[in-house]
Amino acid sequence: MKQFLTGIILIFVIQINAQDYNETLNAIRASEANAALQQMMSSQNANTGNYDVKYHRLELNVDPSVAEISGDITTYFEAKEAMTDITFDLADNMTVSQVLQRGNSLSFVQNTDDELVITLPVTQVQGVLDSLTVSYSGNPVSSGFGSFEQTTHGDDDDPIIWTLSEPYGAKGWWPCKQDLIDKIDSIDVYLTTPDLSPLDKNYVSVSNGLEQSQIISGTQKTTHFKHGHPIPAYLIAIAVTNYDVYSHEVPNNGSPFDIVNYVYPEDVVTAQASTGITVDIMNLFTDLFEEYPFADEKYGHAQFGWGGGMEHTTVSFMGSFSRALIAHELAHQWFGNKITCGSWKDIWLNEGFATYLAGLVIEDLDGEGSFKTWRQQTTANITSQPDGAVYLTDQDTTSVNRIFSSRLSYSKGAMVLHMLRRKLGDTDFYQGLKDYLDTPALAFDYAKTQDFIDVMELSTGQNLDEFFNDWLYNQGYPSYNVNWNQDGNQLQLMVSQTQSDASVSFFEANVPIRILGTLGESLDVVLDNTSNNEQFVETIDFTIQEVLIDPDYHLISKNNAATLSTSDFDFNSEINVYPNPTTAIINIIKPEYIEVETIKIYNSLGQLLLQQDWATEVDLKTLASGILFVQIQTNDKIINKRIIKN
Domain residue spans in the chain? 21-40+334-473, 42-242, 478-568, 574-645
The distance from CA 229 to its chain's CA centroid, rounded to whole angstroms, is 19
pLDDT above 90 coverage of the chain, percent: 70
Number of H helices, E strands in the chain: 12, 36
- Does the structure show a pLDDT above 90 at 609? yes
Class of 574-645 in CATH = mainly beta
Q: Are 106 and 116 in contact (CB under 8 A)?
A: no
Predicted structure pTM score: 0.81
Class of 42-242 in CATH = mainly beta
- Is 21-40+334-473's fold the same as 574-645's? no
Peptide bond into 581 cis (omega under 30): yes
Predicted confidence at residue 575, as pLDDT, reads 81
| Cα separation of the two ends of the chain | 54
CA–CA distance, 189 with 191 (Å, rounded to integer): 6
Class of 21-40+334-473 in CATH = mainly alpha
**Crossing angle for the helix pair 268-275 and 277-288, nearest 10 degrees?**
30
Distances (CA, A) of 548 to 258, 455, 561, 563: 48, 35, 8, 10
CA–CA distance, 500 with 557 (Å, rounded to integer): 9
- Does the structure show a pLDDT above 80 at 128? yes
Distances (CA, A) of 172 to 56, 188, 214, 296, 588: 16, 19, 26, 30, 75
Categorize the per-residue pLDDT at 29 as very low, low, confident or very high, splitting at 50, 70 and 90.
Answer: low
Q: Which amino acid is at 535?
A: Q
Kindly provide the residue ranges of all beta strands, DSSP E only, lying in 347-458, ordered along the sequence: 445-447
| Per-residue model confidence as pLDDT tens digits over 68-90 | 999 999 999 999 999 999 999 99
Q: What would the 3-class secondary structure string for 235-282 be?
A: HCCEEEECCEEEEEEECHHHCCEEEEEEECHHHHHHHHHHHCHHHHHH
pLDDT above 70 coverage of the chain, percent: 90
| Per-residue model confidence as pLDDT tens digits over 221-236 | 999 999 999 998 888 9
CA–CA distance, 222 with 343 (Å, rounded to integer): 38
CA angle 289, 292, 293 (to 5 degrees): 105
CB within 8 A of 536, min separation 6: which ones?
492, 493, 494, 495, 527, 572, 639, 640, 641, 642
Class of 478-568 in CATH = mainly beta
- Range scoring the smallest mean pLDDT among 3-12, 142-151, 245-254, 477-486: 3-12
